[in-house]
């Protein structure tokens, strides 16, 4: 169904061209849009015309026209019959409105199709048949983005993003929940992941979304067929969740860059708890003081380099060695040994994952 605002904008544009006033009602005579300064016909007159067999009729000096949507009466158009060629003008307006109805219906159908495609609710044969009817290319490279922001919807509205993408027929913007906006972007044969990353950054920049630590855009892998779009969507959804757990400072998160975080995200919680008990003997990294945690994180950031870590922490090398020795005594893990460092790093990530999952258990 076309919105009243779209109808009004259409009538205003037609009036500016033809210098003729128009009046559109629904089948019950309720005014949907008008360029007249006042009501020009009674509700009973519209009802009588709607129930008649005529497609057009002159009533009390006004020309009435029926507007159909797929053979079903949708609107009644009213024009002052005093002008020349009013019948031809009326038919042109009817043609224009019916074209809008068809376009909006196709747009709605495409949106519904894309939502079901993303959620994997379609059989393969349905995907091909419906795509053909909706004039959607099947064998085209695409990637799925998910934008999640806590800001006002004005910034991340569907229409704003559609305008940003230039209204390309191969791009689709929709939402399957209240928290995020999904973009199915069509790519050229030469577009690769650096281009995809630029598109993600462009969306954030153009929409004017500020860096707040809670705004993220994630994307999956590039797929070559329409039937694989749901996979790219699931990857983008996972990238969004994993990114919020392990890479909270990143605004743009690619599925291909999740690393070991992707594996940890798929571990069952009981297994994670068992692993933490084995590593920390019933303790938790949360029990470490702030100084120890800062030392650990900086040591990992500098690839286990003692000299560089002590320099960045503004402490003597021996002080850092003392802290590492103290940590080894309490955990049994020496971060200067690569294997122990990997175990400790994974344990910290597992704890992060467990704490995030606890926030979801309402």
In contact, 127 and 117? CB cutoff 8 Å:
yes
Quick one: pLDDT band at residue 98, thresholds 50, 70, 90?
very high
DSSP H or E run through 69:
strand 62-69
Name the pLDDT band for 209 (thresholds 50, 70, 90). low
Beta strands in 118-268 (DSSP E): 142-148, 172-174, 180-186, 216-219, 252-254
- Rg (alpha carbons) of the chain, rounded to whole number: 31
> Among 334, 338, 314, 316, which residue's Cα sits nearest to residue 326?
334
Task: Evaluate if pTM is beyond 0.95.
Answer: no
The per-residue pLDDT for range 321-360, each reduced to its tens digit, is 999 999 998 888 899 999 999 999 999 899 999 988 888 7
Q: How far apart are CA 113 and CA 337, in angstroms?
A: 53
Higher pLDDT, 300 or 361: 300
Q: What is the pLDDT of residue 155?
A: 43
Which of 229-238, 255-264, 272-281, 309-318 shows the lowest per-residue confidence on average (mean pLDDT)? 272-281
Give the confidence band of 67 by pLDDT, cuts at 50, 70, 90. very high
pLDDT at 362 over 60: no
In terms of pLDDT, which residue wins out, 108 or 258? Answer: 258
Q: Return the closest-CA partner of residue 145 out of 249, 254, 244, 263.
A: 254
Domain ranges across the chain: 2-106, 108-261, 267-359
Report, as an integer, the average pLDDT of 279-304.
84
Per-residue pLDDT tens over the stretch 296-331: 999 999 999 999 999 999 999 999 999 999 999 888
SS3 (DSSP) at 75: strand
Which fold, 2-106? Beta-Lactamase (3.30.450)
- For residue 156, what pLDDT is reported? 47
Quote the CA–CA distance of 109 and 311 in Å, as a whole number.
Answer: 61
Q: At 15, is the pLDDT very low, low, confident or very high (cuts 50, 70, 90)?
A: very high
- Looking at residues 93-98, what average pLDDT do you find? 93
Which CATH number does 108-261 carry?
3.30.70.270
Structure tokens given for 231: 């996979």
Task: Classify domain 267-359 at the CATH class level.
Answer: mainly alpha
Q: Give the integer Cα–Cα distance in Å for 190 and 143.
A: 13
Greater confidence, 168 or 86? 86
* Angle at alpha carbon of residue 51, lines to 45 and 52, rounded to 5°: 90
> Could you give the 3-state DSSP secondary structure of residue 116?
helix
Mean pLDDT computed over 208-221? 78
Mean pLDDT computed over every residue of the chain? 88
Each residue of 77-86: pLDDT tens digit?
999 877 778 9
Place of tokens 């020009």: 40
What's the rounded Cα separation, in Å, for the pair 229 and 252?
20
CA distances in angstroms from 345 to 185, 196, 297, 339, listed in the order given: 36, 30, 9, 10
Q: How far apart are CA 184 and CA 175, in angstroms?
A: 11
Burial class (CB in 10 A: 0-12, 13-18, 19+), 113: buried
Residue 250 reports pLDDT greater than 70? yes
147-164 average pLDDT score: 64
Query: What is the reported pLDDT for 164?
Result: 72
């Amino acid at each position: 169904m076309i919105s009243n605002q779209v109808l009004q904008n259409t009538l205003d544009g037609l009036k500016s061209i033809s210098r003729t006033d128009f009046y559109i009602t629904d089948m019950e005579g309720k005014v949907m849009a008008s360029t007249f300064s006042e009501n020009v016909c009674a509700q009973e007159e519209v009802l009588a015309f709607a129930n008649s067999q005529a497609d057009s009729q002159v009533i009390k000096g006004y020309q009435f026209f029926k507007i159909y949507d797929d053979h079903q009466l949708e609107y009644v158009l009213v024009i002052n019959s005093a002008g020349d060629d009013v019948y031809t003008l009326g038919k042109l307006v009817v043609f224009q409105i019916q074209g809008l109805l068809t376009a909006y219906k196709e747009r709605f159908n495409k949106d519904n199709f894309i939502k079901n495609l993303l959620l994997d609710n379609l059989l393969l044969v349905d995907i091909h048949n419906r795509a053909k009817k909706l004039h959607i290319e099947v064998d085209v490279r695409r990637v799925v983005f998910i934008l999640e922001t806590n800001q006002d919807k004005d910034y991340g509205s569907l229409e704003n993003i559609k305008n940003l993408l230039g209204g390309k027929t191969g791009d689709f913007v929709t939402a399957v929940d209240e928290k995020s906006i999904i973009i199915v972007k069509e790519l050229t044969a030469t577009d690769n992941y650096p281009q995809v990353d630029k598109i993600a950054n462009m969306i954030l920049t153009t929409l004017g979304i500020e860096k707040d630590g809670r705004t993220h855009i994630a994307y999956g892998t590039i797929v070559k067929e329409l039937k694989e779009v749901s996979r790219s969507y699931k990857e983008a959804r996972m990238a969004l969740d994993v990114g919020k757990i392990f890479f909270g400072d990143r605004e743009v998160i690619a599925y291909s860059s999740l690393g070991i975080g992707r594996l940890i995200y798929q571990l069952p919680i009981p297994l994670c708890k068992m692993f933490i008990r084995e590593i920390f003997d019933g303790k938790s990294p949360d029990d470490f003081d702030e100084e120890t945690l800062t030392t650990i994180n900086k040591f990992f950031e500098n690839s286990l380099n003692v000299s560089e870590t002590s320099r960045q922490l503004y402490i003597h090398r021996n002080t850092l060695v003392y802290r590492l020795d103290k940590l080894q005594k309490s955990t049994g893990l020496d971060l200067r040994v690569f294997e122990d460092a990997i175990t400790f790093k994974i344990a910290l990530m597992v704890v992060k994952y467990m704490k995030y999952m606890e926030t979801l258990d309402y």
